[in-house]
């Protein structure tokens, strides 16, 4: 019988996960299907329960439900507990296993695909939703000199810092929440936009002065055109990257959890970049 998976979120129409998992399944000869499931904002539990009851094998969870998914899981992996967020569910008998592959996906894209070493760098994580919760621990484990987390609602950034402290902190690295007002006086080597502002073509409140010479600006959002955040960063001389590589890398890690096999990410990312280039509006 074909094993069924889905990405569950709100919105999900833009998600490239079905194409990615179809490519992984083709390469590794796995019999599975993968679809998009839109969950009403107030009905996450009901939607996931119905998906599980339909004899599905698992799901990816996307915005804004990653913190709710953590609560929904009956068993959580260490990396999910590190940030208190879940992006991957595996249904195994009576158990609902909750994992988080966003952090490893982000770090693999930045370090391996983009060739940018995080160790010893000053890192700013902008946003404190499910995605930021999921990646903060992995960023800390990558050994930056500083990990600062900022958000328009500062209390949520402070909650991530507290969660990191509870799960062991980081190796010789300073990490703290930073209020938006402190940003104009700060410089960073790596600035990661983990807000959903780009989904509505909005710009999080990051001043141009934050970008140091040779810095990398990374937007977790991906699409046909550069986001306002990436345009701002490029105009200030920073190197830029969107979140397509992270999407493919985190998907490979979810696939490995579900299927026990690690698919190749390089050809899938190249295929998506090609499609992105073809569809890009010309002016």
Contacts with ligand NDP, residue ranges (CB under 6 A):
63-64, 66, 102, 105, 127-132, 151-153, 156, 194-199, 202, 204, 220-222, 243, 246-247, 250
Question: Would strands 122-126 and 146-150 be described as parallel, antiparallel, or unpaired?
Answer: parallel
Q: Which is nearer to ligand NDP, 132 or 212 (CB)?
A: 132
Task: Report the nearest approach of ligand NDP to the CB of residue 110 (Å).
Answer: 12
Residue with tokens 């698919």: 263
Question: Which residue sits closest to ligand NDP, CB atoms considered?
Answer: 129
Q: What are the residue numbers of the active site?
A: 66
Residue 172: CB minimum distance to ligand NDP, A: 27
The least distance separating ligand NDP from the CB of residue 158, rounded to whole angstroms, comes to 11
Tokens of residue 79, six digits:
């990396």
Closest to ligand NDP by CB, 145 vs 240, is: 240
Q: Which C-beta is closer to ligand NDP: that of 43 or that of 95?
A: 43
Q: How far is the CB of 27 from ligand NDP (least distance, A)?
A: 19
How far apart are alpha carbons 208 and 236 in whole angstroms? 6
Closest to 163 measured CA to CA, from 237, 100, 229: 100
* CA end-to-end distance (rounded Å), the chain: 48
Q: Under a CB-based contact definition with an 8 Å cutoff, are residues 233 and 221 in contact? A: no
Q: Which two tokens stand for residue 58?
A: 């698992």
Return the SS3 of 170: coil
Q: Which is nearer to ligand NDP, 214 or 280 (CB)?
A: 280
């Amino acid at each position: 019988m074909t094993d069924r998976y889905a990405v569950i979120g709100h919105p999900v129409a833009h998600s490239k996960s079905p194409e990615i998992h179809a490519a992984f399944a083709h390469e590794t000869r796995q019999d599975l299907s993968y679809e998009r499931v839109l969950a009403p904002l107030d009905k996450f539990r009901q939607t996931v329960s119905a998906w599980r009851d339909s004899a599905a094998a698992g799901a990816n969870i996307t915005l804004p439900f990653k913190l709710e998914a953590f609560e929904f899981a009956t068993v959580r992996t260490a990396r999910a507990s590190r940030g208190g967020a879940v992006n991957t569910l595996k249904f195994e008998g009576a158990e609902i296993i909750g994992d988080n592959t966003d952090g490893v996906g982000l770090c693999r894209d930045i370090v391996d695909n983009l060739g940018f070493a995080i160790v010893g760098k000053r890192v700013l994580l902008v946003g404190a939703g499910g995605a930021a919760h999921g990646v903060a621990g992995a960023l800390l484990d990558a050994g930056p000199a500083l990990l600062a987390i900022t958000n328009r609602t500062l209390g949520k950034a402070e909650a991530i810092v507290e969660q990191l402290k509870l799960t062991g902190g980081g190796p010789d690295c300073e990490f703290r929440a930073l209020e938006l007002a402190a940003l104009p006086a700060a410089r960073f080597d790596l600035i990661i936009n983990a807000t959903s502002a780009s989904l509505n073509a909005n710009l999080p409140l990051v001043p141009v002065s934050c970008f140091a010479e040779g810095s990398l600006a990374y937007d977790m959002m991906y699409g046909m055109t550069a986001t306002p955040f990436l345009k701002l960063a490029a105009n200030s001389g920073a190197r830029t990257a969107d979140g397509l590589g992270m999407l493919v890398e985190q998907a490979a890690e979810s696939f490995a959890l579900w299927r026990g096999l690690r698919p190749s990410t390089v050809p899938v990312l190249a295929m998506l970049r090609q499609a992105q280039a073809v569809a890009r509006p010309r002016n």
